[in-house]
Amino acid sequence: MSTAKGFTLIELLIVLVLIAVITGMAMLSMGTADPRDKQKFEAERLLKLLELSSQDAMVRGEVTGIEFYKQGYRFVGLKNHKWQVQDSDLLFKPREMPFLMTWTLSKNNMRIELPITPSFTPTPQIIIDPAGGMELFELSIQMQETNTTFRVSNTSDSGLIIKTEDQS
């Protein structure tokens, strides 16, 4: 009978897997330390959704809009001469702004006052026509913890773009 003391290979592998899982969870829970990353993510996501919405409007041949409010935004479609929330496609589901993030919307160099919550009857501030054309606008995304502003805009020269501005 062997009286050798120690751990079996299985026991060592289980410990290694547990250490890897705990380390992975710790890394995910830390997230990113830079709040600018959240701003950049929101700006890029909005830009891509606007591009997709423009393409979707062309494919469907329907007028689409985006309604912004202080806490988020939602995509709406014009059906039977009434704006209706697009909730059948999860890609264009309503989105909420992350905590401490704010934005301002301007069209024709005039700031548009955004409602606090979405209205009962959708009223989009940006319209996308069936040809994929979109109104010119600028949406500035700020975060309380940073001095950086990300600007998502549709310009007559470059189309949809993101600009970053540091205010130091």
CATH architecture assigned to 35-166: 3-Layer(bab) Sandwich (3.55)
What is the full DSSP assignment across 90-159? Answer: GGG--EEPPTTEEEEEEETTEEEPPPSS--SS---SEEE-TTS-B--EEEEEEETT-SEEEEEEEETTTE
H/E stretch holding 40 reads helix 35-60
Predicted confidence at residue 15, as pLDDT, reads 80
How does pLDDT run across 51-108, given as a tens digit for each residue? 999 998 899 899 999 999 999 999 999 888 899 998 778 888 999 988 888 999 999 8
Q: What's the full length of the chain, in residues?
A: 168
How many C-beta neighbours within 10 Å does residue 140 have?
18
Is the pLDDT reported for residue 29 higher than 70? no
pLDDT of residue 122: 92
| Domain residue ranges of the chain, discontinuous segments joined by + | 35-166
Do 100 and 144 touch, CB atoms closer than 8 A? yes
Tokens for 160, please give them: 């949809």
pLDDT of the residue at 10? 86
Indicate the pLDDT class of residue 23, thresholds 50, 70 and 90: confident
List Cβ neighbours of 134 (8 Å cut-off, separation of 6 or more): 50, 54, 126, 127, 128, 154, 160
Tell me how far CA of residue 156 lies from CA of 9, 47, 88, 116, 160, in angstroms: 65, 16, 31, 29, 9
Considering the chain, what percentage of its residues have pLDDT values greater than 70? 93
Residue 32 scores a pLDDT above 60 = no
The Cα–Cα gap between 142 and 146 comes to 8
Q: What is the mean pLDDT of residues 125-130?
A: 93
pTM: 0.77
DSSP structure class, residue 71:
T
